């Protein structure tokens, strides 16, 4: 199976587990049956918003969801039955080091659900602990090899947290780290992972302020004949203005095919519903409206870029 995916992809991710339980609901594991039911039902609300957006005009062929098996099994099955793009996480939630959620049994879980994408979230900085990075590369190569063998699309969400030394170099300013250091570190990380046999179809990339940085990322993910490999931009839970900026920047760069914006899309809606400030239909409609907004922002920015003369 040749790696790559180059269709537009507008992903609504709500596979959040550990942080979602603790920050949205203030639950502490292990959850009671009642608590689990509350989390599960909230994810159903988000899915209702996704379906509303499709009914409102978002093209189903380009729309997709990312949801976990633990709280989203009925959602995954319904989405698959309707031939929507689905992605399912394989990583254990809330861990600094990548580990499989179901250990060596991850293959059976993927086979059971057959999602469009097996998705992994990894925190990896090339200047961080070398032994930790090696362990992560070995596990990720195992996943990548399985996906290639099983004709399973593979999505990689890359987070590059600053090391203490890197953060100190920019005076503790995380925004400066994002602008000045993170883009080059992302390129180094992707190169290291590719050289270790980790071959996603899509790289899920933290938002970048510069189109030139986006272009450099695309050059790296497509190096060495990986022409079909693409990127999508993630929202990082940022405010709406920042998400809009990242979407517009990425949409203008060939190789960025869409986005994955989760918390900025659903957080206020779920919180409003859980606190009784929003009735369920209004909460679902808020999810639909924000998701549709991101689709519109990305498509309009891409259309503008397509009308510009090619860079020579």
DSSP code for 205: E
Eight-class DSSP state of 62: G
Q: Which residue, among 88, 82, 136, has the nearest Cα to 112 in the 3D structure?
A: 88
Q: How far is CA 226 from CA 6, 191, 229, 271, in A?
A: 12, 12, 6, 41
DSSP string, 228-254: T-EEEEE-TT--HHHHHHHHHHHHTST
Taking only the tens place, the pLDDT of each residue in 54-90 is 999 999 999 999 999 999 999 999 999 999 999 999 9
- Model pTM score: 0.96
Model confidence at 312: pLDDT above 50:
no
Confidence of residue 310 (pLDDT cuts 50, 70, 90): low
C-alpha 74/C-alpha 258 separation (Å) is: 26
Q: Could you identify the residue written with the tokens 């925004």?
A: 175
Q: Quick one: pLDDT at residue 36?
A: 97
Which domains does the chain possess? 9-21+55-261+293-307 (3.20.20.70)
């Amino acid at each position: 199976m040749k790696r790559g995916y180059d269709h537009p992809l507008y992903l609504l991710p709500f596979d959040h587990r550990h942080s979602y339980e603790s920050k949205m609901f203030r639950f502490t594991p292990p959850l009671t049956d009642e608590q689990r039911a509350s989390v599960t039902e909230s994810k159903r609300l988000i899915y209702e918003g996704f379906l509303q957006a499709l009914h409102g005009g978002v093209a189903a062929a380009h729309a997709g969801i990312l949801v976990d098996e633990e709280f989203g099994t009925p959602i995954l099955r319904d989405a698959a039955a309707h031939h929507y793009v689905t992605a399912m996480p394989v990583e254990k939630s809330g861990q600094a080091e990548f580990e499989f959620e179901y250990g060596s049994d991850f293959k059976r879980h993927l086979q059971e659900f057959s999602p469009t994408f097996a998705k992994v979230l990894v925190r990896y900085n090339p200047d961080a602990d070398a032994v930790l990075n090696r362990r992560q590369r070995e596990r990720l190569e195992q996943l990548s090899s399985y996906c290639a063998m099983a004709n399973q699309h593979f999505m990689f969400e890359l987070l590059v947290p600053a090391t203490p030394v890197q953060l100190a170099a920019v005076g503790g300013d995380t925004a400066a780290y994002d602008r000045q250091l993170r883009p080059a570190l992302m390129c180094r990380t992707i190169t290291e992972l590719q050289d270790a046999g980790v071959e996603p179809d899509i790289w899920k990339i933290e938002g970048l302020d510069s189109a030139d940085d986006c272009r450099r990322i695309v050059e790296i993910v497509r190096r060495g004949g990986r022409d079909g490999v693409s990127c999508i931009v993630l929202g990082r839970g940022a405010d709406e203005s920042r998400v809009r900026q990242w979407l517009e920047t990425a949409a203008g760069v060939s190789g960025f095919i869409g986005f994955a914006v989760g918390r900025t899309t659903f957080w206020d809606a779920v919180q409003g519903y859980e606190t009784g400030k929003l009735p369920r239909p209004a909460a679902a409609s808020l999810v639909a409206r924000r998701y549709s907004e991101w689709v519109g922002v990305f498509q309009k920015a891409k259309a503008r870029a397509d009308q510009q003369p090619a860079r020579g």
